[in-house]
Amino acid sequence: MTLAARNLPLTEEQPSFQASGAEIVIRALEEEGVDTVFGYPGGAVLPLYDALYFSKVRHILVRHEQGAAHAADGYARATGKVGVCFATSGPGATNLVTGLANAYMDSIPLVAFTGQVSLELLGRDSFQEADTTGITMPITKHNFLVKRPEDLAVTVHKAFYLARTGRPGPVLIDLPKDVTARVITYSNSCREVDIPGYHPRVTPEAGAVARVVEALSRARRPVIYAGGGVLSAEATAELLVLVERTGVPVVTSLMGKGVIPEDHPLALGMLGMHGTAYANLAVSECDLLLALGTRFSDRSTGRFETFAPHAKVVHVDIDAAEIGKNVRVDIGVVGDLKSVLEALLSDLEKAPEVQAWQRQIAHWREAYPLRYECPEGVIKPQFVVEQICELTRGEAVITTDVGQNQMWAAQYYRCRRPRSFLSSGGLGTMGFGLPAAIGAQIGRPGETVIDIAGDGSLQMTVQELATVAQYQLPIKICLLNNGYLGMVRQWQELFYEHRYSQVDISQGGPDYVKLAEAYGITARRVTRPEEVRPALEAALSEPKPYLLDFVVDREENVFPMVPPGGSLDQMLGGKSVEAHAKRTG
């Protein structure tokens, strides 16, 4: 009997056992504290699945490998742990690629295991062979091709160390079938990890922190710009202390939603293309921008050359390569954000004088609020999101797809807790929402998980309804159904003179209620505004999966909007916002 089958601990009396490579992998996962793996089996990973059969590690059988990667991603975002996924060789591995790229762009810690053909078949165009390490090199933090079973355990531990330390990210381990099938004497998993040349800086340089403290003390119109790095560093508590001690308002990136309760009086919401007008105006007029754990995405900054034109820019990030990459930086600080914020709070003796600045921002907030019109009998998608937020008090775990649904969710769902808004930021992956919700619900089983989806995006990974049904995950899928690839249509309306080319998906699409019911999931179509809240209440009261198909205004747009390549203070949407832009343009 093998090591995994006996599930025996290594002891001084019995320090070694015969074990297959696959059993060593599973044992290393257990040692890393992994409780769940998302995957899809195939020939090249059969040894791994056979070893998993005897393990206490739970496996969630998705219906497509892209879903496995997104589910592991959602699990990682929701829990702060490393997500894990399995796929077989060839197409199984290549199907993971979108999910790995998505995690890489958003700095999410994953470890992906892929099967590979046996060593003697490598490089011979063998059945289901693909150069997985070559393909994934630019979209992983690191990857490994393991050629000896003796190297498996230490490779697994290295992968987890790399994924979770420094700037987090996905790591892939490619496993030739014969390496996982071979039996060797297993004696010690060697959890001590030493990777020459990889020593991420955690503690900030004291002089840099002192310069930040001085700049903050002298500022009169400061703004904090917080990104997903604050969540990765588990530094939300320190950020809130800094905000309340200094009175400095906070804007966030999409990835930073939830770093501060969004009903806090100093929270200005999201910055950027579809950010709030008052967030964009505050950054455009500030004299100090304290950027924390954000990479200055072009969707957040608008035109780089005109971003924060009056501000001294401070950039704090764990990744030195990000400092000055996209925007000019006056003070750069490399370090773990939690350590940096603790140092700032320790050294900060004088808070800036910001009363006049706060009054200016309050004026902008009142003059240019998020708003939409509500014609009788028409469901506005913003209204649906507002109702979700009210009923859950901003405390649900929200996943989104990509497109208009994503931006309405970002604008109108005001998160009150960290790690509660999970969205594809950098890659913009349609189809992310449903499998990410699966991972989030597995990771936080007692909480309400809601996927705010679009009809275009949902069809990208719709087969994962089967996964939801199989495990009876009580996810609520709120479909904002407008029969369009909505964001593309919006761009065609605004920038291509209403030439709607290949964006109408109303014909040929499924009846989503019947589709959900075919998978055994309760579903309901909602067509009138007065039905929205009762339908949500009914879904939220059920301890089972539920799909709500909200038939929303077909040609509603997301506003405000900074045109691509434009400046943050030149927004479209709403007469008052555009009038401001004309006055200042």
- Where does 192-248 have alpha helices with state H? 206-218, 228-232, 236-246
- Distance of alpha carbon 264 from alpha carbon 547, whole angstroms: 31
Catalytic annotation present for 127? yes
- Distance of alpha carbon 12 from alpha carbon 93, whole angstroms: 39
Q: Residue 184, SS3?
A: strand
Whether cis (ω within 30° of 0) applies to the bond prior to 204 is no
Catalytic annotation present for 65? yes
For residue 86, give every residue at least 6 positions away whose Cβ sits within 8 Å of its Cβ, in sequence order, or none: 37, 38, 39, 40, 41, 45, 48, 49, 59, 68, 112, 113, 114
Given 81, 141, 158, 177, which residue is catalytic? 177
The answer to whether the CB of 527 falls within 8 A of the CB of 549 is: no
Q: Directed axis angle between helix 381-392 and helix 404-412, to 10°?
A: 40
Given 105, 487, 561, 571, which residue is catalytic? 487
Given 30, 54, 128, 360, which residue is catalytic? 128
Given 32, 65, 285, 464, which residue is catalytic? 65
The answer to whether the CB of 25 falls within 8 A of the CB of 52 is: no
Given 127, 244, 325, 353, which residue is catalytic? 127
- Distance of alpha carbon 551 from alpha carbon 554, whole angstroms: 8
For residue 542, give every residue at least 6 positions away whose Cβ sits within 8 Å of its Cβ, in sequence order, or none: 474, 522
Query: What is the β-pairing status of strands 449-454 and 397-400?
Result: parallel
For residue 207, give every residue at least 6 positions away whose Cβ sits within 8 Å of its Cβ, in sequence order, or none: none
For residue 216, give every residue at least 6 positions away whose Cβ sits within 8 Å of its Cβ, in sequence order, or none: 222, 246, 248, 288, 290, 344, 348, 352
- Distance of alpha carbon 138 from alpha carbon 143, whole angstroms: 10
- CA angle in degrees (0–180, nearest 5) for 400-101-197: 130
Catalytic annotation present for 406? no
- Distance of alpha carbon 250 from alpha carbon 518, whole angstroms: 45
Q: Which residues are catalytic?
A: 65, 127-128, 177, 487
